[in-house]
Structure 1
Amino acid sequence: MDTPAIFSASARRRQRDRAANHFADHDFLRVAMLDGIADRLSAVKRSFADILDVGCFDAAFVPPSGAKILRADPGFAFARAAAGVQMDEDRLPFADGSFDLVVAAGTLDTVDDLPGALTLIRRVLRPDGLFLGAFIGAGSLPMLRAALREAEQDRPVARLHPQIDVRSAGDLLLRAGFALPVADKESLTVRYGGLGRLIDDLRGMAAANVLSARHPLHRAALARASVAFARHADPDGRTSERFEIVFLTGWSPSPDQPQPARRGSGTTSLAAALRPGGR
């Protein structure tokens, strides 16, 4: 029996196509993700020849000098504008070992089969290839969540996507077979003059509701949510909303990578190490 889909693939594609024309007006989260990825990439002292930018949006990721890059996106408009291909992250049509760097910034949190997507990313990497990812994680949008909960307390429905925390993200990298996995996060706070501006940003960055089970937010409930959101405003009338960005780093396994020490190979006992003076 097939597992019911959490996200609607068709709604996800439509939302990305609607966002494509004016994405630059709402791209601050994607910019923050790419900045973080660039920082992590700058610490890697090796060259990359073939790169896959999956979930490419407006093709703003700048590849290292001399590298060839293939852009891909679940949305047709983004893929066409980037001269790339349209595809879903959990259905990568590439041969094993096709790339030595895969970047995925901003889309993995709305993939139904995220473990499968990560496994495919690891498989299309060459041995000792690098994966760098980023997405909106657990703890994001607390003000919006609280406002919707207050507005619909009699008949609450799911309107925000499930969010993945850092520990779970690291576990997913391990399950997918990555070596040397690292998951960490950074917080970004944005101040809004009203709930409408936040909703505009979420739609404009293609991060609005694409759950399979979607329910209309009626005008009265939206008005109550707006009031609840404004109740948390600072004296200047702006409400601070928080975004948590989870970053993923993983390597395709290779015999040349550092390996953990074999159990029992230590030469100093714990008791000796704890004695005054060291050994």
Structure 2
Amino acid sequence: MRVFDRHSVRRHRERAAAGFAGHGFLFDEVAARLADRLDDVRREFATILDIGARGGVMARALAARGGDAPAALGDKSTVVIHSDLAPSLLAGLPRAVVADPEALPFAGGFDLVASCLDLHWVNDLPGALVQIRRALRPDGLFLAAIFGGDTLSELREAWLAAEIEVEGGASPRISPFADGRDAGALLQRAGFALPVIDTDRITVTYADPIALMRDLRGMGETNAVALRRRTATRRATLFRAAEIYGERFADADGRIRATFEIVTMTGWAPHADQQKPLKPGSAAFKLAEALNGEPDQSARSQ
């Protein structure tokens, strides 16, 4: 399926590259949260692949952890490969590779593959996850965050209502995002072991909807749906969407809310020494006994 126009995705990122630092606060926050996940991982990562580098956001978050944390980039022996669809977002980064997650040019050997808010633009996410697993060495870690289904729900509702009211119909304005409940199944389908999925929400307030749209443009996150309308947006529709947004989603101080749902995916490349779930029926005691605190001696023979 061709849901997204990948040429437009690259063009939007190229356009945003020069001013990305002034709009990339959300990427900084999510990258820091991803880096924090490594505090519970007791190992070092000598080789790291950063998919969707966006000027090195993820690498900076890893380096900022410092101390004795694994994967701290202060160690000169750590090798980080930065990749991105847009060449301009790789400017100045060492070991930079222009690469599309839909066709990764890496054969394997990475200890860690990390991706901060990049893979939600991929048309074939299951296929991309398979390639990422193959890029990892056995027992290598995959850690990524993508936008989830509730992201920009307020903007989606405002655009839909405005287009129907002003133009008598609606067109795709906000990208479809993955459902967090499906992400775990996708990791398993791609062959990852010990998959873990969790979701979080970040709410950002803006003076008005136009400021939100300006930020999205500055992030390179504007509409790239393949079936989007290609004609210019009518001023009447834009202004009506802004009015509806303010009417439905403004706080008492007049600022509007924007929701970003963050889906975090963690998985490991399979390895023989990894923990594995017990076979059904192999437990020594019944669950009811554990809850009641009264062991049933007969259960031990089962």
TM-score (norm 1): 0.94
Give secondary structure in 1 for the equivalent of 2:201.
Answer: strand
Shift, 1:273, TM fit: 5.3
**8 Å CA contact retained: 1:33, 1:135:** no
Match of 1:195 in 2: 209
Shift, 1:234, TM fit: 2.1
Q: Does 1:155 align with 2:169?
A: yes
Spell out, residue by residue over 1:128-168, the C-alpha distance to the aligned partner (whole angstroms, 9 max, x if none). Answer: 00011001111111221111011012201111111112111
- Using the alignment, how far apart are the partners of 1:268 and 1:234 within structure 2? 53
Shift, 1:270, TM fit: 5.2
Match of 2:126 in 1: 115
Bigger drift between 149-158 and 261-270 goes to 261-270
Unpaired runs of 5+ residues, structure 1, are: none
Shift, 1:265, TM fit: 2.2
Match of 2:157 in 1: 146
Q: One-letter code of the match for 2:130?
A: T
* Pairing 1:2-41 to 2, within 5 Å after superposition: 3=1, 5-41=2-38
**8 Å CA contact retained: 1:73, 1:86:** yes
* Pairing 1:55-70 to 2, within 5 Å after superposition: 55-62=52-59, 63=62, 64-65=72-73, 66=75, 67-70=78-81
- Using the alignment, how far apart are the partners of 2:265 and 2:293 within structure 1? 40
Give secondary structure in 2 for the equivalent of 1:210.
Answer: coil
Shift, 1:275, TM fit: 6.4
Q: Which has the higher helix share?
A: 2
| 276 and 224 in structure 1: CA distance in 2 versus 1, 3 angstrom threshold | same
Shift, 1:9, TM fit: 1.1
Q: Does 1:241 align with 2:258?
A: yes
From 86, 90, 98, give the equivalent of 1:86.
Answer: 98
Q: Does 1:178 align with 2:192?
A: yes
Percent identity, aligned pairs only, is: 43
- Using the alignment, how far apart are the partners of 2:293 and 2:137 within structure 1? 48
- Using the alignment, how far apart are the partners of 1:10 and 1:271 within structure 2? 57
**8 Å CA contact retained: 2:201, 2:260:** yes
**8 Å CA contact retained: 2:58, 2:115:** no
- Using the alignment, how far apart are the partners of 1:37 and 1:273 within structure 2? 35
Spell out, residue by residue over 1:12-36, the C-alpha distance to the aligned partner (whole angstroms, 9 max, x if none). Answer: 1110101111111111211121111
From 118, 125, 138, give the equivalent of 2:136.
Answer: 125
Give secondary structure in 1 for the equivalent of 2:91.
Answer: helix
Give secondary structure in 2 for the equivalent of 1:90.
Answer: helix
| 78 and 276 in structure 1: CA distance in 2 versus 1, 3 angstrom threshold | closer
Match of 2:244 in 1: 228
| 31 and 275 in structure 1: CA distance in 2 versus 1, 3 angstrom threshold | closer
Shift, 1:272, TM fit: 5.5
Match of 2:41 in 1: 44
Match of 2:222 in 1: 208
Match of 1:102 in 2: 113
- Using the alignment, how far apart are the partners of 1:44 and 1:276 within structure 2? 33
**8 Å CA contact retained: 1:166, 1:185:** yes
- Using the alignment, how far apart are the partners of 2:215 and 2:23 within structure 1? 5
- Using the alignment, how far apart are the partners of 2:119 and 2:3 within structure 1? 13
Give secondary structure in 2 for the equivalent of 1:126.
Answer: strand
Cα RMSD over matched residues?
Answer: 1.6
**8 Å CA contact retained: 1:56, 1:72:** yes
- Using the alignment, how far apart are the partners of 1:227 and 1:46 within structure 2? 52
Give secondary structure in 2 for the equivalent of 1:121.
Answer: helix
Give secondary structure in 2 for the equivalent of 1:10.
Answer: helix
Unpaired runs of 5+ residues, structure 2, are: 63-71, 297-302
- Using the alignment, how far apart are the partners of 2:53 and 2:278 within structure 1? 38
Shift, 1:277, TM fit: 2.1
Spell out, residue by residue over 1:159-218, the C-alpha distance to the aligned partner (whole angstroms, 9 max, x if none). Answer: 111111211111111111111101111111111111110101111111110111221321
- Using the alignment, how far apart are the partners of 1:54 and 1:23 within structure 2? 17
Give secondary structure in 2 for the equivalent of 1:188.
Answer: strand
Bigger drift between 134-143 and 68-77 goes to 134-143
TM-score (norm 2): 0.87
**8 Å CA contact retained: 2:139, 2:271:** yes
- Using the alignment, how far apart are the partners of 2:286 and 2:252 within structure 1? 60
